Amino acid sequence: MSANEDICVVVPTIREYECMRAYFDNAREHGFDLDRLHVLLVTEDFCDTDEMAAMLADEGVSGEVFDGSRREQWYDDHGISEYGHVVPAASHAETSFGLLYVWANDFDYGFFIDDDTLPHEDFDFFGRHVRNLQFSGEIEEVSSDENWVNVLYQNYDEHGLYPRGYPYSAMDETVETDTTHVSNVVASQGLWTNVPDLDAVRILMDGDLQGQAQTRTTKDDYDGDFVAADGNYLTVCSMNLAFEREIVPAFYQLPMDDNRWDVGRFDDIWSGVFLKRACDVLDGTIYNGFPLCEHNKAPRSTFGDLNNEVPGLELNEHLWEVIEDTGTDADSYAGVFEAMAVELADGDFEEYENGAFFNYVGEYMLDWLSALDELRSVEATPPLADD
């Protein structure tokens, strides 16, 4: 990486990597310096990595392409091959490889962009996220009597939507808004137009069998930026997200899909629950709202998503309750995350369907912290002098 590159953009992709050209065009149109970006395309061995690299070269943007084989080599090169399992193969949660990469390098910021999105021309995509992360001032604060904030609350009376991962037990909440002062923004979540990010049950209730939902969102559904009050949780979707390097220890994208319980689809949702708990302990802030992206989710079977979600639906109702009092005395994101990990790894969750998956997640969270510690110690070790 060059001295100018302070942003690592992580894009999990197996087919639609060309969408990044629109993001680069958006940067040029708004005068954002593309020399600040280093783009990480995280893909699989069956994809054409040469074409992906050629696209970045054609755009004149710094970046690298990591398929499964190259990720394994990276683990070996950085002395963490024993922790390669923390990043699941062929899963959206492989965005965690991007977090490892950010941690091992000197990037100030990380971005997550999904390959089925496009930037809105009205927004300086990269610039707005960076300004959000640097924001200090007054902003709307949202809370509810269920301790959950629906990130689509602003026009809920019209569309009636709850996002993927929002607990069913927290629906029909009473929403309250206020104004608060924030000065320590550590993550910026941009929201989305066109296809809303819903779970399969809600998509079925909306009458759609192709995984997309009949109800769509537009820019008019959003009227400004907001934060969730302390003690209130929210869904964090990684399709349009920027973050400070310091939160990486508490932002692990959880091991989904490749597990014996077949739990999937909650990697970014649960990481958002953990991050919000850590932010509440450490006075950090997750900023929500603009810049918007256009979500163009490809048609697929709603029942396929349902099969991936059902094994974890009951767990999703209770995860926040399990960790809500943990890490109170911690003074770092890693410290809060470790407290949550121990709570899950050592807990007895037999009362829940697939409750042992919580123990599994907790163990992986502890391995995640060990991998970060190993990366830090390897990077800090000076090379041996030549004889």
pLDDT digit string, tens, across residues 208-263: 999 999 999 999 999 999 999 999 999 999 999 999 999 999 999 999 988 999 99
The DSSP secondary structure of 120-181, one letter per residue, reads: -TTS-HHHHHHHHHT--EEEEEEEETTSEE-TTGGGHHHH----TT--GGG-SPPEEEEEEE
Closest-CA residue to 366 (of 238, 231, 255) = 255
Query: Which pLDDT value is given to residue 49?
Result: 95
Query: Which pLDDT value is given to residue 383?
Result: 46
56: exposed, middle or buried (C-beta count within 10 Å: 0-12, 13-18, 19+)?
Answer: buried
Mode of pairing for the β-strands spanning 137-144 and 226-228: parallel
Burial call 266-277: b when 16+ CB within 10 Å, e when fewer? bbbbbbbbbbbb
Work out the pLDDT band at 275, boundaries 50, 70, 90.
Answer: very high
Work out the pLDDT band at 380, boundaries 50, 70, 90.
Answer: low
Closest-CA residue to 270 (of 332, 328, 319) = 319
- Yes or no: say if 53 and 65 are a contact pair by the CB < 8 Å rule: yes
Query: Which pLDDT value is given to residue 1?
Result: 61
pLDDT digit string, tens, across residues 138-184: 999 999 999 999 999 999 999 999 999 999 999 999 999 999 999 99
- Backbone φ and ψ for 322, nearest 5 degrees, come out as -65, -40
Query: Which pLDDT value is given to residue 376?
Result: 83
Angle at 338 between CA 240 and CA 134, to 5 degrees: 35
User: Per-residue pLDDT averaged across 83-108, rounded?
Assistant: 94
pLDDT digit string, tens, across residues 291-317: 999 999 999 999 999 999 999 999 999
- Yes or no: say if 228 and 143 are a contact pair by the CB < 8 Å rule: yes
Instruction: Kindly tell me the sign of the dihedral angle through the C-alpha atoms of 176, 181, 183, 188.
Output: positive
Q: What single-letter amino acid sits at 153?
A: Y
Looking at every residue in the chain, the average pLDDT score rounds to 95
- Yes or no: say if 119 and 288 are a contact pair by the CB < 8 Å rule: no
- Yes or no: say if 331 and 293 are a contact pair by the CB < 8 Å rule: no
pLDDT value at 386 more than 80: no
